[in-house]
Amino acid sequence: MSGIHSFRFFDTRWIRIGILLIVAGVQSACQTADVVGKGISLGEKKENNSQSTISIPSPEVWGGEARCDSGVCRWVAVEHETSQVVLYALEGKRWRLLDRRSVAYHPDSAKWIDHTHVVAAVEKSRSLDIFSVSSDGKLSPQAQIDVGFEPRDVFVLPARDGGWLLLATPYRGQQVAWVYWHPTQATRKAAQTWCATPWHVTRVPRGPQGNGPGLIAGCMDDNQLVYVPQPHTFEEAAASQVTSMRRFDHVPRRIGVTPSGRYWYVALELGGLVARYDVTANAWQPLPFTVFGAVGVAAYDDDTVAWGENNRILLMRYDKDGKVVAQRSFQVSGLPTELQWIDLDQDGVQDLISMNSTGPASNILYGPLLP
């Protein structure tokens, strides 16, 4: 892809974690550390004192996804250090472990393929591990697909012919892997070069400058955001054209897209800023944030966004100019690197699940949560 240069790769995870922890220590020592931007005071913040929250005792969840079908909600996740894929039933405001399965060392992500299959990205085996899910929630190994590198994340798209397109992104490197998977057909694979370490992929309903639906990803080691048109077949996926959208001064951890598709909210490490892209206006806007920066993000609507910060979630509402007009803070059990809005207790109100990549547990914050 034009404009993208080659890089020498090294494992920067521990350097980044060390910097974030140092910043967290400095930040906690400052009386004004909780003030986000110049336009909001501590008196305008609302702390979470009585919110209904539960903890699910899965440690160091590096990735996962909750899904509700016909009133039944389940959460699949990976425990990074225990090397387990776990499946939970979420019933009202209670959880119940359905099953757990061992995989190779360091699973990093898990997603639902459909209501009877899940997939996990596993570092040591360099594979996507697919499990079938029985009606009573038992996991059974179905396939293990070598993607040629240690995968950090996996993204799932339906293919036009009834199969699935699985996109594996690297723990470290420039290549991604497209995998066509169908329970009864031959698996196909294709490699592409995207950017320097694209970690987490998000689907957007609208692309830039009038483009249609697509995929976007933040690149850890060259600080850019890339866009790919959404493929519908394996052939389209293998021929995808990658466009560089934006370069940042700091690492773009994740991108949260609003349900309308108008805004992309970009979580940036350090620096005191995050970013917002207006697809309609084709305009970027910096937004004030804490010095620690954001490691996770999930947009509730065009104006309200949940940011994962230092062992807490900051829920912010913005005006059209990007000023914070309301904010709430929620403590969680670890570093909230993956966030998902979903109605888990089936009461018609969106809840927020915080998948914490550090710490002993993940959390569910039950709505209403809006500031």
- State the residue for tokens 């979420």: 90
**The two structure tokens encoding residue 266:** 């970009």
- Asked if residue 147 lies in contact with residue 180, where contact means CB atoms within 8 angstroms, the answer is no
**The two structure tokens encoding residue 56:** 């699910």
Q: Enter the DSSP assignment of 210.
A: G
Q: What sign results for the dihedral spanned by CA atoms 343, 345, 348, 352?
A: negative
Nearest 5°: the CA angle 193, 153, 278 is 75
Measuring CA to CA, how many Å separate 239 from each of 170, 209, 229, 336, 348? 19, 21, 10, 34, 41
Amino acid making up residue 31 = Q
Q: Which of helix, strand or coil describes residue 292?
A: coil
pLDDT digits (tens, 9 = 90+) for 236-245: 999 999 999 9
Cis omega (within 30 of 0) for bond into 368 = yes
Q: Which of helix, strand or coil describes residue 22?
A: helix
Nearest 5°: the CA angle 274, 214, 280 is 60
pLDDT digits (tens, 9 = 90+) for 258-282: 999 999 999 999 999 999 999 999 9
Percentage of the chain modeled with pLDDT above 90: 84
**Does the pLDDT at position 74 exceed 50?**
yes
**Does the pLDDT at position 196 exceed 80?**
yes
What's the pLDDT band for 51 if we cut at 50, 70, 90?
low
- Asked if residue 118 lies in contact with residue 143, where contact means CB atoms within 8 angstroms, the answer is no
Distance CA(248)–CA(250), nearest Å, equals: 5
Range 64-93 average pLDDT? 96
What's the pLDDT band for 33 if we cut at 50, 70, 90?
very low
pLDDT at 371: 75
Distance CA(48)–CA(371), nearest Å, equals: 10
Distance CA(63)–CA(79), nearest Å, equals: 8
- 8 contact partners, CB below 8 Å, separation of at least 6: none
pLDDT digits (tens, 9 = 90+) for 310-345: 999 999 999 999 999 999 999 999 999 999 999 999
**Does the pLDDT at position 25 exceed 70?**
no
- State the residue for tokens 């018609």: 348
Which helix (H) or strand (E) covers residue 17, if one does? helix 13-29
- Asked if residue 79 lies in contact with residue 108, where contact means CB atoms within 8 angstroms, the answer is no
- State the residue for tokens 């609208």: 206
- 282 contact partners, CB below 8 Å, separation of at least 6: 208, 209
Distance CA(263)–CA(260), nearest Å, equals: 8
Phi, psi for 19 (deg, rounded to 5): -60, -45
Q: How does the average pLDDT of the chain come out, rounded?
A: 89
| Total-model pTM | 0.88
pLDDT digits (tens, 9 = 90+) for 92-136: 999 999 999 999 999 999 999 999 999 999 999 999 999 999 999
pLDDT digits (tens, 9 = 90+) for 307-317: 999 999 999 99
pLDDT at 28: 39
**Does the pLDDT at position 21 exceed 70?**
no
Phi, psi for 198 (deg, rounded to 5): -80, 115
pLDDT at 18: 52
Nearest 5°: the CA angle 264, 266, 268 is 175
Measuring CA to CA, how many Å separate 233 from each of 8, 155, 161, 203? 33, 15, 8, 16
Percentage of the chain modeled with pLDDT above 70: 86
